[in-house]
Amino acid sequence: MIPASTTTRHRSSLRILLVAVFVVAAAWQASATKLLIPMDGSQQNHLKAYGIAFWTLGRDASIDWLLNYRGGSFLIDHYKEVEQECTIRGVTYQVIADAQAATILAEIADPEANMEVVKLEKAPKIAVYAPESFQPWDDAVALVMTYAEIPYERIYDQQIIAGVLPQYDWLHLHHEDFTGQYGKFYRMYRSAPWYQAQVQESEAVAASLGFAKVSEMKLAVATRIRDYVSGGGYLFTMCSGTDSYDIALAAEGVDICTPEFDRDPIDPQAQEKIDFGRTFAFKDFRLVTDPMTYEFSNIDATDIHGTIGQTRDFFTLFDFSAKWDVVPTMLCQSHEQVVRGFMGQTTAFRKSLVKPGVLVMGENKAQGTVKYIHGEFGLGQWTFYGGHDPEDYQHMVGDPPTDLGLHPNSAGYRLILNNILFPAARKKKQKT
């Protein structure tokens, strides 16, 4: 028989042990929760939700991106700091138990479900290609990153020629002209002070870098970007940064500029000398060499979209197999399958001029145009997105900046932000 005193001591020890176990279990249960940031129609601010994801990655926490689950929701371990940041930024979230999260993940894992989980691990380092005179509100990508509180750095010709691109995971080009024709603004704005200042600045930079012409400098920049992508970089391009970039690559070694732009004659066989094998996206296009025409080539379908009107201008996102085609599924995450169109110097691309190997992700089938395309080059990848500003249908020079506080659920802007998160994803081998 155990003495009473010993029994009492054992009981006391047991009570302490049980209390300790209970406390540990309670603490574990308190932490065994997740934050679900829904990205369907219930989300009050889709754009800032991406900023939350980026902010979380920047603090060395990983995220599960739930492709096609409630509009491409985010699942994060429950950190109080993340929850507080969601509250501050006005982002809708739910605190769910681990068991609920497990149920969601099981639903996604079902082979019959067109859903997939992608692990986001590290915030990409972002560069925006823009001059000193750059205004963030005049570049949709810079605008939405500023609104979502996603950090980026501005670089331009001098930095790219100096070789800085390998420092970045993601590069953006917007309303740029890589052909050396100053955006083809000659007819309307050649007497405008801002246009003249742009020409003088570009010529001075070209001379300082050892180039005889601006077109030669822009070609050197374009080829360095090409090498950056080939080495594993990610390029996201909008507006005239799309077709003018491809045209510059195709015209390497060919003078396609009239005297209004470079003070010497255009190569009379310029069109015949174009090499479509050098381009990322386009083939068989015809150059527009008239300096009085606000157009680089027939790639751009602004003329088509200009005739259908804003109320009929839409493009449809493709529905990819999430488990087989992870990359395009990631880039097409949205709460809307049909997205409002928007104009730009380059509004959309004629489908007939897109290379066969290019992946079309958004198109206006009725008009024979594509808006959103993706491809691989070497070890890297690129995305071209037609149009200037997803919430400014017909952006004009001098228009006031878009207030994204009025468009927190913009499906058009969501596509930009999908691309920004893409380099953060743990790479999976594509099955197709």
The band of 136, judged by pLDDT with boundaries at 50, 70 and 90, is low
Phi-psi group of 257: left, alpha or beta (phi > 0 → left; psi -120 to 50 → alpha; rest → beta): beta
Task: Indicate whether 4 pLDDT > 60.
Answer: no
The per-residue pLDDT for 355 is 98
Cα gap 79→92, rounded to integer Å? 15
The per-residue pLDDT for 427 is 58
- Mean pLDDT score, 138-146: 92
The per-residue pLDDT for 137 is 59
Give yes or no for a contact between 58 and 28, defined as CB atoms under 8 angstroms apart. no
Cα gap 99→213, rounded to integer Å? 64
The per-residue pLDDT for 397 is 66
Helices (H) and strands (E) in the chain, counts: 15, 15
The band of 131, judged by pLDDT with boundaries at 50, 70 and 90, is confident
What is the average pLDDT score of the chain? 91
If you write DSSP's letter for every residue of 404-428 in order, what string do you get? GGG-TT-HHHHHHHHHHHGGGBPP-
* CATH hierarchy code of domain 4-120: 3.30.70.790
The per-residue pLDDT for 17 is 43
- Mean pLDDT score, 222-250: 97
Task: Indicate whether 66 pLDDT > 90.
Answer: yes
Considering only 17-31, 227-241, 380-394, which range has the smallest mean pLDDT?
17-31
Considering only 8-22, 71-85, 250-264, 349-363, which range has the smallest mean pLDDT?
8-22
CATH topology of domain 126-306+343-401: Rossmann fold (3.40.50)
The per-residue pLDDT for 15 is 47
Cα gap 269→61, rounded to integer Å? 56
- Residue whose pair of structure tokens reads 């390029």 in the numeric block: 235
Cα gap 255→49, rounded to integer Å? 46
The per-residue pLDDT for 11 is 44
Task: Indicate whether 91 pLDDT > 80.
Answer: yes
Which amino acid, 377? Answer: F
CA distances from 290 to 24, 181, 266, 294, 295 (A): 76, 11, 11, 9, 9
The per-residue pLDDT for 401 is 84
The per-residue pLDDT for 138 is 78
The per-residue pLDDT for 9 is 46
Task: Indicate whether 132 pLDDT > 80.
Answer: no
Q: What are phi and psi of 78, to 5 degrees?
A: -75, 95
- Mean pLDDT score, 355-377: 97
**Sign (positive or negative) of CA dihedral 120, 126, 129, 132:** positive
The more confident residue out of 432 and 322 is 322
The per-residue pLDDT for 171 is 98
**Domain limits, the chain:** 4-120, 126-306+343-401
The per-residue pLDDT for 27 is 38
Task: Indicate whether 421 pLDDT > 70.
Answer: yes
The band of 339, judged by pLDDT with boundaries at 50, 70 and 90, is very high
170-195 pLDDT, tens per residue? 999 998 999 999 999 999 999 999 89
pTM of the prediction? 0.90
